[in-house]
Amino acid sequence: MTTPNKPAPAPATNFLRNIVEADLAAGRYAEKHWAGHPGSASELAGAPLDPARIRTRFPPEPNGYLHIGHAKSIALNFGLARDYGGVCHLRLDDTNPEKEEQRYVDAIVDAVRWLGYDWTAFGTEHYYHASDYFDFMYEAAEALIMAGHAYVDEQSPEEIRAMRGTLTEAGTDSPWRDRPPEESVARLREMRDGKHPDGSMALRAKIDMASPNMNLRDPVLYRIRHATHHRTGDKWCIYPMYTYAHPIEDALEGITHSICTLEFEDQRPFYDWLLNHLRELGLLEAPLPHQHEFARLNLTYIITSKRKLLQLVNDGHVSGWDDPRMPTILGLRRRGYTPEAIQLLCERTGASKSDSWIDYSLLEQALRDDLDPKAPRTVAVLRPLKLVITNYPEGRTEECSAPRHPHHPEMGRRTFPFGRELWIEQEDFEETPPKGFFRLFPGNMVRLKYGYVVKCTGFVKDEAGKVVEVQAEYLPDTRSGTPGADSVKVKGNITWLHAPTAVPAEIRLYDRLFTEANPSAGGKDFIEYLNPSSVETIQGYLEPGTDGTPGTSYQFERFGYFVADREDSSTLAPVFNRTTTLRDTWK
Ligand code: ATP
Ligand code: MG
């Protein structure tokens, strides 16, 4: 894998790229008739494209928020289109009216944009909805019936299920299977016209009830749902099944490569069956889209099941869909993940034909690799302890300075005061130092980073015996950046802030949400694997000038990458989230 802080490698080649390259080389889409069909997206868009381009699509269902797994699909589909001069459509697969909502549509659009992808190509916005094609889908259904490829079944959903058979036993033909096409069409029209209640009948494809592929045992194409759709309102009370709708959407939009996750592999025969029949019926034209499956992204220490994520939100285990511990795009963004880091993870994990687990640390490393070269540095004291420089005059201050970035002098320098009273980290002082401890303890000398060498002279305890103040004397000739700086050699170098000018801040130390790599397969309910210390909120101090504007990222020297919280931070009252530590410290 890539070593930290090296520039990202060129996108690794993968089997999908190989397929696209072979298809382009073979001129497979050179004949593509982009003008489309009545009502098709390309016609609606009114802009036939250069015929030799690939088209992909990202087709989320607007029934929830996007997560890191979706980002993988987004990066693949938009990435292929970008790299091969094609187009990627954003299509809302809105065929399930009861579960879908406009707020999810809005959130999906925002998330894809934020990730850095754009569906505008050649002057056209390639933004579509499955519901744009409901009329076509309905007409195609009638045509399939008349050609003997579909029938209306008046059995209940339970009966249909019971007669499907099993993996080892063939199914049983429905008693309605061979009814005359005219009768099926009449029933379908009644279904469409609202004459029948939900579940009383369904349109099914007529394929093979004995097929070893269960998906070919006369799958349901349309069901009755008296539900209001967020876009088509009450126009329809029958809705196409995803398996029927999806191939048609792809074909109407002129998609060349329909890329989906492996669990759809068994659907591919139906995908081809449907499109080939619609082409024979003159409703679609060749070349038809092809479905290609890749392994979904499985990241350890997170879950991506919508149902489980909803449970985390509803039961208050997290503060919402945008909780910084959530694997949603909203959560990752609030946590401080950048679109570039997410893209980098997706590129590094490539596309594969077999399922595997990706370690969560790869996501963190992608973030470090993205932010290390660009995040300005600042000092924070997370667990403050007072350090008094007893030989430094009261009321006096002087300015110290440091580069904003150790390798980018063009980013300039920052300045901050040094004075008599400072904040240091509690962990930088020990009354009785353990072996190998080089920081402050009575009699020892350390360098205050960017400042002076100081020698510890004493400390003060409160009644409970807790050290509340450390005292030291500074060595006036040892200021960093002056000729005398190296005159005294010390082993320890600690961060500090000038107490009167340090900016108080709330700091949220986030960690992994689960203690198990695969919380869904640990044997217990996934809730049992919630990490009890996935967040710790503390009051610390920041270097003056640290910008608390929501969304601003820094490297807090020695602690890691932090971002000003998008909801709660302001320049006057900064709140910072730890995005990730500087190194992988997970135990
Ligand atoms: P649902 O159970 O609601 O279908 P879903 O996660 O499949 O959930 P969709 O909105 O259908 O949600 O997903 C949109 C696209 O994102 C699909 O093409 C799907 O294959 C892809 N996708 C979802 N999860 C992952 C994942 N973990 N890795 C890669 N692609 C994913
Ligand atoms: Mg899905």
The domain defined by 504-580 folds into Ribosomal Protein L25; Chain P (2.40.240)
Q: Is 242 annotated as a binding residue?
A: yes
Structural domain boundaries in the chain: 19-130+246-299, 135-239, 307-371, 377-501, 504-580
Is 261 one of the annotated binding-site residues? yes
Distance of CA 185 to CAs 243, 275, 279, Å? 20, 20, 20
DSSP E strands: which ranges in 324-466?
357-358, 377-378, 380-381, 384-389, 397-403, 413-419, 421-425, 445-448, 453-461
Cα–Cα distance between 220 and 206 in angstroms, integer?
9
Residues whose CB falls within 8 Å of the CB of residue 529, separated by 6 or more in sequence, listed in order:
514, 515, 516, 519, 522
The fold adopted by the segment(s) 377-501 is Ribosomal Protein L25; Chain P (2.40.240)
- How does the average pLDDT of the chain come out, rounded? 93
N residues, the chain: 587
d(CA 331, CA 512): 13
Separation of alpha carbons 204 and 217, rounded Å: 9
Residue 419 pLDDT = 98
Q: Which of 49-58, 177-186, 234-243, 366-375 has the lowest mean pLDDT?
A: 49-58
Q: What pLDDT score does 1 carry?
A: 34
Q: What's the token pair of residue 264?
A: 């759809």
Q: pLDDT tens for residues 405-420?
A: 999 999 999 999 999 9
pTM: 0.92
Backbone angles phi, psi at 236, to 5 degrees: -120, 145
- pLDDT at 39 exceeding the cut of 70: no
Place domain 135-239 in its CATH homologous superfamily: Glutamyl-tRNA Synthetase; Domain 3 (3.90.800.10)
| Cα 378 → chain centroid | 28
> Is pLDDT larger for residue 555 or for residue 350?
555
Task: Give residue 486's pLDDT.
Answer: 86
Nearest ligand, CA 100: 1
Q: For residue 72, say whether it is annotated as part of any ligand binding site.
A: yes
**CATH fold of 19-130+246-299:** Rossmann fold (3.40.50)
Tokens describing residue 480: 């960093």
Q: What is the pLDDT of residue 27?
A: 82
Mean pLDDT of 206-211: 98
- Confidence class of residue 585 from pLDDT cuts 50, 70 and 90? confident
Q: How far apart are CA 92 and CA 95, in angstroms?
A: 9
- Of the candidates 91, 86, 117, the residue with the CA atom closest to the CA atom of residue 253: 91
Give the number of other Cβ atoms within 10 Å of residue 7's Cβ.
8
Backbone angles phi, psi at 366, to 5 degrees: -60, -35
Asked, colleague to colleague, whether 377-501 and 504-580 share their fold, the answer is yes
pLDDT confidence tier of residue 4, bands split at 50, 70 and 90: very low
Ligand 1 centroid, distance to 69 Cα (angstroms): 7
- Say if ligand 1 is within 6 A of residue 295 CB: no
Direct distance between the N- and C-terminal alpha carbons of the chain, in angstroms, rounded to an integer: 21
Give yes or no for residue 421 CB within 6 A of ligand 1.
Answer: no
Closest ligand to Cα 306:
1
The Cα 66–Cα 75 span in angstroms is: 13
Comparing CA positions, the residue from 470, 463, 379, 475 lying closest to residue 427 is: 470
Whole-angstrom distance, CA of residue 153 vs CA of residue 74:
38
Tell the residue nearest (CA) to atom 14 of ligand 1. Answer: 60
Rounded to the nearest 10 degrees, the angle between the axes of helix 15-25 and helix 68-83 is 30
Q: Does position 269 have pLDDT exceeding 70, yes or no?
A: yes
Which residue numbers are catalytic? 61, 296, 306
Domain 307-371 bears CATH identifier 1.10.1160.10: yes
Instruction: State the sign of the Cα–Cα–Cα–Cα dihedral 242, 244, 247, 252.
Output: negative
Ligand 1 touching residue 24 (CB < 6 A): no
How large a percentage of the chain has pLDDT more than 70? 94
- List of residues 6+ apart from 79 with CB closer than 8 A: 11, 346, 347
Over residues 276-290, the mean pLDDT reads 93
Binding site membership of 297 for ligand 1 (Cβ less than 6 Å) = yes
Average pLDDT (214-226) is 98
Cβ atoms 104, 94 nearer than 8 A: no
Query: 385 pLDDT exceeds 90?
Result: yes
- Confidence band, pLDDT 50/70/90 cuts, at residue 31: low
CB count within 10 Å of CB 243 equals: 18
| Most ligand 1 atoms within 8 A of CB, residue of 61, 250, 258 to mutate | 61
Give the integer Cα–Cα distance in Å for 326 and 321: 7
As a whole number of angstroms, the distance between CA 53 and CA 51 comes to 6
